[in-house]
A and B are shown apart, each in its own frame.
Chain A
Amino acid sequence: MTTRKLEILVGAFVALAIAALLLLALKVANTGVTGSDQSYKLYAKFDNIGGLKVRSPVKVGGVVVGRVASIQLDPEAFQPVVTLEINSSYSNFPETSSLSILTSGLLGEQYIGLQPGFVDENVEILADGDHIEDTKAAIVLEELIGQFLFNRGNQ
């Protein structure tokens, strides 16, 4: 077989492999944090983050607008500090917005629900590096059951 014919066949093979890689990279995997790599960071302190993990989604009304970038413990207040990466195309949340840790379904994974707050002339828009003050901790089932039993005991 001539070298030219071999080269054509090998070229076709490599092209097929590149097409497979493109399919895997573009169609199968999610590229970047939320589709585009433009994002800004917000910080929030919670009392309890429950089962929240890095890369958990941040949702507004069910729409994913960002992801959890990192989770650290504040060394003085002993409270978890969550860093959120929000897609830059959603950059007009007022500072009165609140965060709560929710669970998708009964047994699903936990995510952060962002509830946009009211806007008037005294309210500023959240920008890169801002803290969100109004947060609700995750509901821990054991604590809930404990409270329930305690209340029953008092009655």
Chain B
Amino acid sequence: MLDKLQQLGASTIASIQGFGRAALMVFGALWGRPRFIKAWPLYMKQFYVVGVLSLLIIVVSGLFIGMVLALQGYTVLSKFGAEQMLGPLVALSLLRELGPVVTALLFAGRAGSALTAEIGLMKATEQLSGMEMMAVDPLRRVIAPRFWAGVVCMPLLALIFNAVGILGGHLVGVDWLGVDAGGYWSAMQANVDLNEDVLNGVIKSIVFAFVVTVIALHKGFDAVPTSEGISRATTQTVVTASLAVLGFDFVLTAVMFGG
């Protein structure tokens, strides 16, 4: 009985300490004057790795999710003779929910796991300690560029995902199923609001970007420096980041659209 209680206490303390270390890591990486000009090549490298290389999976998934939404939506809407509402259906589901959430999940799998594995391996091969020996702050040199790359690139990827998804919906809805093209766009314009829908979606994806990037960096930075520890940290990144995104999504949706 007492042992169980102790286990509960220990795991609680460990998770709170994890939060604390993550906060300290982000604080250490961001505190102080940013060195964008001096560290420009480092930042560019991370923007390329995190953003540009994620583009393919985002574009392909966005296209297919838009096409599936249009196909499924059409089946139900045509029963009510409301095919012209296909545009708003596709646009609102993408802008409000699927765009930010699916992008964040894919981003956690594609870029988050890579960040964790890279930093974990740097730690295991004592590159981070080596930097400290040379009076180079690994937080500023390794963590900060990856943090900014993740936080900036993911909202951009979500925007691309939304746009491609809506075009994919157009492809299936208008070119294949024969919904009127003018109706598709005009009903969309009548029902989608710039602040209410587009901006809230962007805010969501910024929050998710922060959450996923911080989890990925923290898991890598905190990994047990063995091959087993790195593999566990990478798995944990994907699992924790996905759960956190879904949890935050519910809270944000309740705040933004629930009232």
Known contacts A6-B48, A28-B189, A28-B192; is-contact A17 B159 (Cβ 8 Å):
yes
A-B contacts at CB below 8 angstroms, number: 71
Q: Which residues of A contact B189 (CB under 8 A)?
A: 27-30
Set A10, A12, A24: member contacting B159, Cβ < 8 A: A24
- In the complex, A103 Cα to B160 Cα: how many Å? 37
Known contacts A6-B44, A10-B52; is-contact A25 B198 (Cβ 8 Å):
yes
B178-204 toward A: CB 8 Å interface, digit per residue (1/0)? 000000010011101110011000000
* B41 engages A21 (CB within 8 Å): no
Query: Shortest Cβ distance from B171 into chain A, in angstroms?
Result: 15
* A13 engages B194 (CB within 8 Å): no
Q: Which residues of A contact B55 (CB under 8 A)?
A: 13, 16
State which size class the interface on B falls in.
20 to 34
Q: How many residues of A contact B (CB 8 A)?
A: 22
Q: Is A3 an interface residue (CB 8 A)?
A: yes
Q: Is B221 an interface residue (CB 8 A)?
A: no
- The secondary structure that dominates the B interface is helix
Known contacts A3-B41, A13-B156, A16-B160; is-contact A27 B185 (Cβ 8 Å):
yes
A-contacting residues of B (Cβ < 8 Å)?
40-41, 44-45, 47-48, 51-52, 55, 91, 95, 153, 156-157, 159-160, 162-164, 166, 185, 188-190, 192-194, 197-198
- Return 25 A-B CB contacts under 8 Å, by A number: A6-B45, A9-B52, A10-B44, A10-B48, A10-B52, A12-B52, A13-B156, A17-B159, A17-B160, A19-B163, A20-B159, A20-B164, A24-B159, A24-B162, A24-B163, A24-B166, A25-B194, A28-B95, A28-B188, A28-B189, A28-B192, A29-B189, A29-B198, A30-B192, A31-B194
